[in-house]
Amino acid sequence: MNDNRARFLEALKTKYAYPDFPKPGVLFCNVTELLKEDGFLAHFNGCVDQLRGSGDFDCIAGIESRGFIWGGMAAARLGVPFLVVRKKGKLPGEVFSYTYDTEYSRDTLEVAQADFRHPRRVLLVDDVIATGGTLRASAHLVRSAGSEVAGVFAILQIPGLGDVSEFRTVRTVL
């Protein structure tokens, strides 16, 4: 592990970890706060640059809500379209919907049908991969829209919590 990754992981554990949030027994690591760390954005951009030219994807879909931050920045840097995976009732017009169980509750995600008028190769982006449930639900939506999930990009994957082996590529910043 390079020095920057180790430094950012240490900051995440020591400065941006919140025990018992959002419920008792959960340790929430707020990766968005890493944007305050000197050099993190450059490190993130370096990881995004490694995605350039792979030809695997033609757009990025950010998963609500922190995936909007990371996915939007990645899409802007790479010059590709940015789509959103939203919670139920947040998108106008016709949508594709999928209801699934999360670690904490039952939830529904949606994507705009207009975003999928033709097949796409989508890179899904989120902040943290934990159990993988929201990621799998997002992938289901993309596939039900007639498109392909080209891969996954996240800031952090928590090992041992969920299986993401169905995805061709999973890349993380940390």
Q: What is the pLDDT of residues 11-29, one digit of tens each?
A: 999 999 999 998 899 889 9
Q: Which of 122, 113, 111, 146 is nearest to 59 (CA)?
A: 122
Give mean pLDDT, residues 77-105: 94
Q: Residue 122: name the closest of 174, 31, 32, 51 by CA.
A: 51
The reply to whether 103 belongs to the active site is: yes
Cite the DSSP H helix spans in 57-107.
66-78
- For residue 107, pLDDT over 60 is answered with yes
List the domain range (segments joined by +) for residue 55.
3-172
Q: Which two tokens stand for residue 168?
A: 């061709």
Q: CATH number, domain at 31?
A: 3.40.50.2020
DSSP letters for 115-162: GGSS--EEEEEEEEESSSHHHHHHHHHHHHTT-EEEEEEEEEE-TTS-
pTM: 0.95
Is-catalytic flag, 110?
A: no
Q: Among residues 33, 37, 52, 66, which one is catalytic?
A: 66
Q: Which of 52, 103, 117, 166 is catalytic?
A: 103
pLDDT one-digit tens code per residue, 126-147: 999 988 999 999 999 999 999 9
Burial of 7 (0-12, 13-18, 19+ CB in 10 A): middle
Closest CA to 130 of 17, 26, 9, 46: 26
Question: What is the count of structural domains for the chain?
Answer: 1
- Tell me which residue has tokens 């490190």: 43
- The share of the chain scoring above pLDDT 70, in percent, equals 99
pLDDT tens string 21-61: 988 998 899 999 999 999 999 999 999 999 998 889 999 99
pLDDT number for residue 102: 79
pLDDT band at 101 (very low <50, low <70, confident <90, very high): confident
Helix, strand counts (H, E) of the chain: 4, 9
pLDDT level of residue 1 (50, 70, 90 thresholds): low
Whole-number average pLDDT of the chain: 94
